[in-house]
Amino acid sequence: MTRYFVPVLLTVALLGACSPPAPVVLTGDAFGTTWSVRLTGLPGDTNPEGLQLQIVVALDSIDRVMSNWRSDSAIEQFNAAPAGQWIDVPAELAELVTLARTISLASDGAFDITVAPLVRAWGFGPAAQPAVPDPATLNAARARTGFGHLSVRMNPPALRKAKPGITTDLSAIAKGYAVDRIAAVLDKAGCRSYLVEIGGELRARGQHPDGRAWRAAVRRPEYGLSPEPLTVLPVTDTAVATSGDYLQQFESGGRRYSHIIDPRTGRPAGHNLASVTVLATSAAEADALATALLVLGPVDGPALARAQDLKALFVLRKPDGFEQQESPALAAWLAAQP
């Protein structure tokens, strides 16, 4: 996962509620961003410090497997490995790559975890300067991407690249995955009501202590920091993730280029779909789907959401402001909320 998430704002800001009792709040840093957990109704014998420690241990173990920022991580060992042979990896990495493949196939290649050379070519990597690459750089990067060149198996868990230079970068799915792992820690401890958040990706169970659903504010997808939410979603027993073109981007020659790359063209997705928020059972799935739908854009994104019954909120940039479009599944879900 990439550490240049650091300055990234929370795509989904949390809305606190005013009525007591206040939830227990645990917080920390991970993956170059922050995490937080809000809890209520803890089992009597649960000690919040013990939970905090378990969460830190879980996040640390994810970092050791999935971080693109340490050469000893399982993912970086695979990235450095030669082509043509199966490289054993921890089962959770193979599982996440399998989920990434499902979403890549469903999105006709819009979601692609081998995209890192293109992300870097457009200057969004560590220590890179955002700039439009020359055609040779772009072609060289394109030659080193393509999910079709990556294989995954579960028994035993392993990855294989079909050609040299193919790498995996889970930036678009790993924060969601980590949210799920924290939720699993809380479920195991018997917590029945919580809101977990890492860098804007969320998962909620039960209710806020005020008796209503936990709530998430979807940010206005403005290029500068925008304090006001665009809208607020109830988030009981669901995960929520947002992908936005405004989070990392640069301007050149009167055009804006975002960090969301369309692997099919090798270029930043260039359309008026500014952000996509997805609700799903798991945060990993919501995270990957939000990125996939954003790449697909204002026509194919909503079409896929309709076809697959995905709960998605599309925010389009229009001359007179932002336009929100709910997928049919999201509209039905919202209508059913108390």
93 binds, among Mg ion, ligand AMP, none (CB under 5 to 8 A by kind): none
Asked whether 180 and 282 are in contact (CB, 8 A), the reply is yes
| Window 234-293: residues binding Mg ion (CB under 5 A) | 243, 287, 290-291
CB of 11 to ligand AMP, least distance (A): 7
Q: Does 172 bind Mg ion (CB under 5 A)?
A: yes
Judged by DSSP in three states, 300 sits in helix
CB-nearer residue toward ligand AMP: 203 or 208: 203
Instruction: Using CB under 6 A, pick the residue from 67, 168, 207, 243 that binds ligand AMP.
Output: 243
Angle between helices 48-66 and 91-106 (to 10 degrees): 70
Site string for ligand AMP, 156-175 (x = CB under 6 A): -------------x-xx---
Piece of 23-31, 71-79, 206-214, 258-266 that binds ligand AMP (CB under 6 A): 258-266
Phi first, then psi, for residue 123 (nearest 5°) are 80, 20
Q: Does 198 bind ligand AMP (CB under 6 A)?
A: no
Q: How far apart are CA 157 and CA 284, in angstroms?
A: 19
Judged by DSSP in three states, 283 sits in helix
CB-nearer residue toward ligand AMP: 245 or 326: 245
Q: How far apart are CA 61 and CA 57, in angstroms?
A: 6
Q: How far apart are CA 210 and CA 228, in angstroms?
A: 22
- Residue 146: what residue type? G
Q: Does 291 bind ligand AMP (CB under 6 A)?
A: yes
CB of 221 to Mg ion, least distance (A): 15
Instruction: Using CB under 6 A, pick the residue from 197, 285, 287, 326 that binds ligand AMP.
Output: 287
Q: Does 12 bind ligand AMP (CB under 6 A)?
A: no
Question: Judging by DSSP bridges, how do beta strands 267-268 and 273-280 pair with one another?
Answer: unpaired
Piece of 18-26, 104-112, 302-310, 314-322 that binds ligand AMP (CB under 6 A): 104-112
User: How many chain residues are in contact with ligand AMP, going by CB under 6 A?
Assistant: 19
CA 261 to chain centre: 14
CB of 230 to ligand AMP, least distance (A): 17
Report the greatest alpha carbon distance in the chain. Answer: 62
Q: How far apart are CA 321 and CA 308, in angstroms?
A: 28
Instruction: Using CB under 6 A, pick the residue from 74, 94, 119, 305 that binds ligand AMP.
Output: 119
Instruction: Using CB under 6 A, pick the residue from 152, 159, 261, 296 that binds ligand AMP.
Output: 261
| Window 34-73: residues binding ligand AMP (CB under 6 A) | none
- Radius of gyration of the CA atoms of the chain, in A: 20
What separation, in Å, do the N-terminal and C-terminal C-alpha atoms of the chain show?
Answer: 37
Q: How far apart are CA 338 and CA 333, in angstroms?
A: 10
Return the closest-CA partner of residue 261 out of 270, 252, 253.
270
37 binds, among Mg ion, ligand AMP, none (CB under 5 to 8 A by kind): none
Name the residues that contact ligand AMP, by CB under 6 A.
2, 110-113, 115, 119, 124, 169, 171-172, 243, 259-261, 263, 287, 291, 295
Name the residues that contact Mg ion, by CB under 5 A.
172, 243, 287, 290-291
